[in-house]
């Protein structure tokens, strides 16, 4: 298993924890200099906050706490491809790389609720420099969504 796969596997665990906490299945983490600096779970339901996505929480934290150099060199890992709102925050924060488990389009096929605009497209249209990689764990990430939303 590669380091990217290990980190995405952890985000899938965080997504499972989010469900246990009464939320929808999304998790993310931020790696700086090879070290996991922060993890986040979706809390949109328990916080009654539509913006409480883990990727947005991490982008906000990173923008406040990391230097420009750290931001450019860090990687955000997400269980599911970040939505356009979160991707815009990733771009504005200056996070350099994103790796995700399952594509938003695949989730959209299951739920009909995701906005199926690829993160790479949002970054490209923003003239951003972040690299976006994925999906790298479709089956494992979708299993959590299928259990929550129904297959």
DSSP structural state of residue 98 = E
Of the candidates 16, 20, 39, 55, the residue annotated as catalytic is 55
- Tell me, yes or no, if 121 is annotated catalytic: no
Kindly list the strands in the beta sheet with 75-80, ordered across the sheet, starting from the edge strand earlier in the chain. Answer: 35-41, 27-32, 75-80, 97-102, 131-133
What is the rounded CA–CA span in Å between residue 42 and residue 97? 20
What is the rounded CA–CA span in Å between residue 133 and residue 150? 27
First to last CA, the chain: 27
- Which residues neighbour 29 within 8 Å (Cβ) at sequence distance 6 or greater? 7, 10, 11, 14, 36, 38, 39, 40, 58, 76, 77
Active-site annotation, residues: 55
């Amino acid at each position: 298993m590669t380091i990217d796969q290990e980190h995405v596997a952890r985000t899938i665990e965080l997504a499972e924890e989010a469900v246990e906490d009464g939320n929808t299945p999304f998790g993310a983490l931020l790696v700086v200099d090879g070290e996991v600096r922060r993890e986040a779970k979706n809390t949109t339901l328990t916080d009654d906050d539509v913006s409480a996505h883990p990727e947005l929480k991490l982008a906000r934290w990173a923008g406040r706490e990391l230097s420009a150099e750290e931001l450019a060199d860090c990687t955000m890992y997400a269980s599911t491809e970040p939505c356009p709102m979160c991707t815009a925050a990733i771009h504005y924060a200056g996070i350099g790389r994103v790796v995700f488990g399952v594509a938003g389009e695949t989730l959209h096929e299951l739920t009909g609720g995701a906005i199926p605009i690829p993160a790479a497209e949002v970054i490209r249209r923003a003239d951003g420099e972040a690299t976006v990689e994925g999906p790298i764990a479709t089956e494992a990430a979708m299993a959590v969504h299928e259990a929550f939303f129904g297959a």
